[in-house]
Amino acid sequence: MCEKCGCGDVQHVSIEVHQSLLAENDRQAAHLRQHFEQDGVLAVNVMGSPGAGKTALLEAIALAVAGRLRLAAVSGDLATALDAERLERAGIASASISTGSGCHLDARMVHEALHDPRLGTAARSADVFFIENVGNLVCPAIYDLGQAVNVVVLSVTEGVDKPLKYPVMFRKADLVVLSKIDLLPYLPGVSLATLTDNVARVMPLAQVIALSAIGGAGVAEFAGWLDAQRAAARGGHMQ
Amino acid sequence: MCEKCGCGDVQHVSIEVHQSLLAENDRQAAHLRQHFEQDGVLAVNVMGSPGAGKTALLEAIALAVAGRLRLAAVSGDLATALDAERLERAGIASASISTGSGCHLDARMVHEALHDPRLGTAARSADVFFIENVGNLVCPAIYDLGQAVNVVVLSVTEGVDKPLKYPVMFRKADLVVLSKIDLLPYLPGVSLATLTDNVARVMPLAQVIALSAIGGAGVAEFAGWLDAQRAAARGGHMQ
């Protein structure tokens, strides 16, 4: 359409600044991780597209482990505290992080949220601390939040090709939860076999749980996975 | 959890660099817009979450306007050319833009794609040029691509609260397509009335089409909306 497109030096400056931001974030994340480990808290970074079912997953697990595990959470969104309110109603001590126009949580935001006395106290004495990230299958993947493990929630309604199209996120996953499986009968062309196969193509050590927060399928398996992660973390600390 | 969290000056530098990047993007977008207008092409930026049904919408519209409107497209994803291949099969001259780890398209990427002789020729003689953005309900909203209009695709499976939680995107929309409405009978707590009401709370001049790419509902209405936009653009150019 025209002769020339000059990208400008600003792109290169941008890369340098971005690397500085990531380095600063990593420093704060390491600090958070130290606290979580000292307090014996399993920190879980829960990521996925908008509407993948992250909050519904946490509501379902709260019901499943009620009276057995203490849970706390922060929940990130551009606006509203709707998710944190849902989590509170489900019995999870929660705080909301509003990012404004920000597309992901960073370690500083989580750190500041934990300075709130109520959440800080709950988180310190929790068995599991969930960090429900902003709904986004891209940006949250590259920001360390001090978590022990990454859970990526992928709704079967999103289609079978998402692991291939968003590999950066799935490469970082310790577990992929395939959610809303109760809707599978109504989704032509979507099968758990193809989804699992596509996850395995990009995820280093593919671990998948098929789950329905409404029907309850897979929720006990997810609780068992959390227990295994807690045991592994305790083993790691004793070394 | 600790005494101090130092955010560092790098954040302020970052804001400045980001503003420079946006200014450079705006310059390139203005250049693209000039070309689109000169060529009488309606450029449509199609945004939405991963799996919202952006590609399925374009496939459905290609079928509906076949023989009447000439269509071309670029399709952005982190990896794979799966969407562009689907669009080609649907009769839309298409090229793929792989962003690597990038969470949105920018004007430079679209510009470069249009320098490809095959796509460039098809786009110049098209009635409508679709820019299918990376699946992301946050970042694409702030990057101008030279488009005449923004279409945000929101699947009813994502839940009713998304317009409130991701207002930045919906504020930029000229049209919201509520997709996958064939799944509504299986989604407890999701109604078109609530979704439309929540869109209206954040969208300046709310315009909503409820659509099923599979069932065909709403597709003719979307074609009519495109015709109206083309007529409005022609009117604008004559002024």
The 3-state DSSP class for residue A41 equals coil
Cβ-based contacts of B114 with chain A (< 8 Å): 1
Write down the CATH number for the domain with range A11-238. 3.40.50.300
Write the pLDDT tens digit of every residue in A26-59: 999 999 999 999 999 999 999 999 999 999 999 9
Query: Who has greater pLDDT, B20 or B216?
Result: B216
For chain B, percent of residues with pLDDT exceeding 90: 87
Question: Quick check: A37 and A237 in contact, CB under 8 A?
Answer: yes
CA-to-CA distance for B32 and B26, rounded, in angstroms? 10
> CA Rg, chain A, in Å?
18
| pLDDT (mean) for A131-142 | 97
Q: What is the pTM of this model?
A: 0.94
Nearest residue to B102 via CA among A51, A7, A171, A166:
A166
Residues in Cβ contact with B192 at an 8 Å cutoff, skipping those fewer than 6 apart: B156, B178, B181, B184, B210
Q: Alpha carbon of A124 to those of A35, A36, A131: distances in Å?
A: 8, 8, 14
Query: Who has greater pLDDT, A63 or A4?
Result: A63
Does the beta-carbon distance from B158 to A51 stay under 8 Å?
Answer: yes
* Triad B8, B13, B18: Cα angle to 5°: 130
Does the beta-carbon distance from A161 to B79 stay under 8 Å?
Answer: no
Q: Chain B interface, mutation test: which of A77, A138, A162, A184, most B Cβ atoms within 10 Å?
A: A138
| B5 pLDDT higher than 80 | no
pLDDT, residue A235, reads 84
Mean pLDDT of chain B: 93
Q: Alpha carbon of B75 to those of A178, B88, B105, B110: distances in Å?
A: 25, 11, 9, 9
Write down the CATH number for the domain with range B18-150+216-238. 3.40.50.300
Prediction ipTM score: 0.92
Domain boundaries, chain A: 11-238
CA-to-CA distance for B112 and B98, rounded, in angstroms? 12
Nearest C-alpha of chain A: how many angstroms from B103? 6
Residues in Cβ contact with B9 at an 8 Å cutoff, skipping those fewer than 6 apart: none
Question: Which of A8, A20, A166 is opposite residue B50, by nearest beta carbon?
Answer: A166
Burial class (CB in 10 A: 0-12, 13-18, 19+), A117: exposed
CA-to-CA distance for A75 and A83, rounded, in angstroms? 6
Task: Please state whether beta strands B71-77 and B149-155 pair in parallel, antiparallel, or not at all (unpaired).
Answer: unpaired
For B227, other C-beta atoms within 10 Å of its C-beta total 16
Helical segments of chain A, H only: 10-38, 54-64, 82-89, 107-114, 117-124, 162-165, 167-171, 192-202, 219-238
pLDDT, residue A204, reads 82
For chain A, percent of residues with pLDDT exceeding 70: 94
3-state helix, strand, coil in chain B (%, to 5): 50, 15, 35
pLDDT, residue B8, reads 45
pLDDT confidence of A206, banded at 50, 70, 90? confident
pLDDT confidence of A6, banded at 50, 70, 90? very low
